[in-house]
Structures are given as C-alpha cells and as structure tokens.
C-alpha cells in the first residue's frame, strides 16, 4: 500500500511536539510532505527539523503544489473552521485540534461537508486514549456498570491560568477554562453517555480570580487583559434521566493543585477515572476494585493511529465529526445559559 500524504497547517508547538512526532512513528503508513504556516521561515525551520520536504506560507500555495491525503489542522481555535472546510473541499481527510470550532453552526457545517465529501474529519481528544479511560469504556460497554445515570466531570486547577499562549484571549480562543480544559473532560463523560445531546443545560461562568491576578502556578498572567472565564460550572440533563455535572477552572480556591477526574455512577457499579477504580458488589458483598498495574500510554500516538485507522476503514475510537458537532453545541449552550 502506498503511504498516505499528510500536510501540517499551523506550525506551532502542538504540531512540533505532538502531531509530527506521532506521525513519524507511523512512518510505515504516513508520510509528512509539507508544513504550512503564516511565517515561511518558521515553517521552513520546522520542516527542516523534521526532514519534511515542503514548507508554505499559504494554504493556496500548499494545495497548488501538493495533493495531500491528510490535513492536520493545528491552527488557533478561531481558524479551525476555515482551514478544515478548505481541506475537505480539497478532498482531504482532516485531523483537527480541539475544540472543533467557534460556534455550533460551524461544527455542524464541518461535519456535514465531511459526510458529503466522504472524508474523515476527526478531532484530537487524545485523553480518550489513556489506559484508565479505555478501561472505563470497556467496563461500561461490557455492562459492568449497568445503567450509567450520573457523571461528575471535573477539570479544576487552583491557580493554573497559563502564563503563555492565547489562553486568556477570548477572540482567539473563544473562551477560557471551558474551551481549554472542560472540553476534554466533557468529551470523556459524553463517551460514557453514548454521546447523545442533553435536553437541559444550566451553567454559570466566573472571572473573579482571573481579573484580580495574584500568584500563578503555571506562570504569571496579565489580569488586565484577561477576558475569558476562569471557572465554569454546568449541569447537563439528558433524555433517559441521565445527567452530567461539569466543573472546570483555570483558577479556583480549592486545596488541590489540579483535579482531572470522572466519577461515574451506574446501577451496578460506580467508577472513578484517576486512579481507576470500580465500586460494586462481588460475591454479594460491597467491593472496591483497584488496578495497580495499568500502563502509561503515549496517548497522542494512540489517537493519531486511531485517526489513520478511521481513514483505513478499521475500527477506531477517534472523535468523529458528528461527535464534534454535538460537543460544540453543548459548549455553545453552556455559554448561552451562563451569560443569560
């Protein structure tokens, strides 16, 4: 089989640190043929660093000279829509960074076009690939949890407003803690809810700490320019009497430096994601099950592989375009509820 040709759009850290290294480990299936960035010299430097042939400073140039099979959309959030739509129109499969887009309508349009074009559009929710989550998913699918009816999904930092990047810039990011952190844990929770859409959402967002400033544990941020939420609390109620309680924050006056967890409550068993445990009955007695030997995994490599598998028609647990559209709509509704 001939190699899939991949081109990178957006030559920042996420491409350099995550996507390119993962693709290079899959060199028997994929060849990276080009890097495209706003600044040609930086794109060229990145290409050279990874022994990639072409570098471009416009997607027009890219599509003009190459015919990639795959586009890795590593651009800022506010450009996800444009470059993904363009790539699909150029007949490419697209592996897009999260969140899917800036609006639910965009994400829906992206999913529709992918479907129409018969191409794979997938999002890089790589936390799906941790050993803990895969085990949770397996237990859920084997029915060990019974009916899952409530999930607490938390991604909470005490003082973790990033002191670098665009994380506190609403125009570029589209939001704060929900967009950067909450979206990950929400994706995981939805995976245990069959990724259906909620019928009721209530939410609140806050920016007390972000706007006040103070000591940071992930660098210092500029309180004066902080215009996103530092925390978000939301409750999602689903058909079938299920619900998710979502909490995420860049900054919150809690004890722990960082909490990333799911607590899943089912009719037969409950599960906690980190460290993974089951709480159930065994031989008629209440029992707690721990798994002390779970492997650490290269979640990016696994997720990139899942994307390639999807292209090749193999079974894959990649985040699909359809899931991305569901997720983006939930995010939009959370902000709507919160700003009303």
Residues that bind a copy of itself (CB under 8 A): 135, 138-139, 142, 144, 146-147, 149-150, 152, 158-159, 200-206, 208-209, 212, 214-215, 217, 231, 233-235, 237, 241-243, 245, 247, 252-255, 257, 263, 265-270, 272, 277-294, 337
The stretches of the chain forming alpha helices (DSSP H) are 13, 20-25, 40-49, 59-65, 80-89, 104-117, 131-141, 170-173, 177, 183-191, 208-212, 299-311, 321-339
CB of 50 to a copy of itself, least distance (A): 31
CB of 221 to a copy of itself, least distance (A): 15
Q: Are 138 and 191 in contact (CB under 8 A)?
A: no
Number of residues in the chain = 340
Name the residue nearer to a copy of itself (CB basis): 40 or 289.
289
Instruction: Select from 188, 200, 165, 143 the least CA-distant residue to 76.
Output: 165
CB of 286 to a copy of itself, least distance (A): 5
Name the residue nearer to a copy of itself (CB basis): 78 or 261.
261
CB of 8 to a copy of itself, least distance (A): 35
Name the residue nearer to a copy of itself (CB basis): 60 or 256.
256
Three-state DSSP at 68 gives coil
Name the residue nearer to a copy of itself (CB basis): 78 or 235.
235
CB of 58 to a copy of itself, least distance (A): 40
Name the residue nearer to a copy of itself (CB basis): 25 or 279.
279
Name the residue nearer to a copy of itself (CB basis): 272 or 331.
272
Three-state DSSP at 7 gives strand
In Å, how far are 25, 270, 322, 324, 325 from 196, measured between CA atoms? 34, 20, 11, 12, 11
Q: Please state, in angstroms and rounded to a whole number, the distance separating the CA atoms of residues 298 and 276.
A: 18
Name the residue nearer to a copy of itself (CB basis): 13 or 138.
138
Name the residue nearer to a copy of itself (CB basis): 111 or 252.
252
> Is residue 123 reached through a cis peptide bond, with omega within 30 degrees of 0 on the bond before it?
no
CB of 251 to a copy of itself, least distance (A): 10
Q: Which residues contact 41 (CB under 8 A, 6 or more apart)?
A: none
**190: which 2 tokens?**
């939805």
CB of 200 to a copy of itself, least distance (A): 5
CB of 297 to a copy of itself, least distance (A): 13
Instruction: Select from 70, 60, 127 the least CA-distant residue to 98.
Output: 127
Exposure letters 76-99 (e unless 16+ CB within 10 A, then b)? bbbbbbebbbbbbebebbbbbbbb
- 282 DSSP 8-state letter: E
């Amino acid at each position: 089989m001939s190699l899939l040709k991949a081109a990178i759009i957006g030559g920042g850290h996420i491409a350099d640190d995550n996507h390119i290294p993962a693709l290079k480990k899959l060199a028997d299936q994929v060849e990276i043929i080009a890097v495209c960035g706003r600044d040609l010299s930086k794109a060229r430097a990145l290409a050279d660093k990874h022994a990639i042939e072409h570098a471009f400073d416009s997607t027009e140039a890219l599509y003009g000279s190459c015919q990639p099979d795959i586009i890795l959309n590593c651009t800022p959030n506010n450009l996800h829509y444009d470059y993904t739509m363009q790539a699909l129109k150029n007949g490419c499969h697209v592996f897009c960074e999260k969140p899917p887009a800036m609006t639910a309508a965009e994400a829906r349009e992206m999913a529709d076009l992918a479907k129409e074009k018969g191409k794979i559009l997938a999002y890089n929710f790589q936390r799906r690939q941790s050993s803990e989550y895969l085990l949770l998913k397996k237990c859920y699918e084997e029915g060990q949890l019974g009916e899952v009816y409530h999930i607490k999904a938390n991604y909470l930092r005490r003082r973790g407003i990033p002191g670098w990047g665009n994380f506190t810039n609403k125009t570029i990011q589209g939001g704060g803690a929900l967009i950067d952190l909450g979206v990950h844990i929400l994706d995981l929770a939805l995976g245990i809810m069959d990724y259906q859409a909620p019928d009721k959402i209530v939410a609140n967002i806050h920016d007390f700490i972000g706007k006040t400033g103070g000591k940071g544990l992930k660098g210092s941020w500029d309180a004066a320019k902080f215009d996103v939420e530092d925390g978000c609390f939301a409750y999602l109620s689903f058909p079938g009497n299920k619900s998710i309680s979502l909490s995420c924050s860049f900054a919150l006056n809690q004890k722990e430096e960082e909490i990333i967890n799911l607590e899943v409550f089912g009719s037969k068993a409950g599960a906690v994601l980190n460290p993974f445990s089951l709480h159930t009955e065994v031989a008629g007695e209440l029992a707690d099950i721990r798994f002390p030997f779970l492997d650490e995994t290269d979640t990016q490599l696994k997720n990139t592989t899942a994307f390639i598998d999807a292209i090749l028609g193999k079974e894959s647990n990649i985040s699909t375009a359809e899931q991305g559209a569901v997720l983006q709509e939930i995010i939009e509704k959370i902000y709507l509820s919160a700003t009303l």
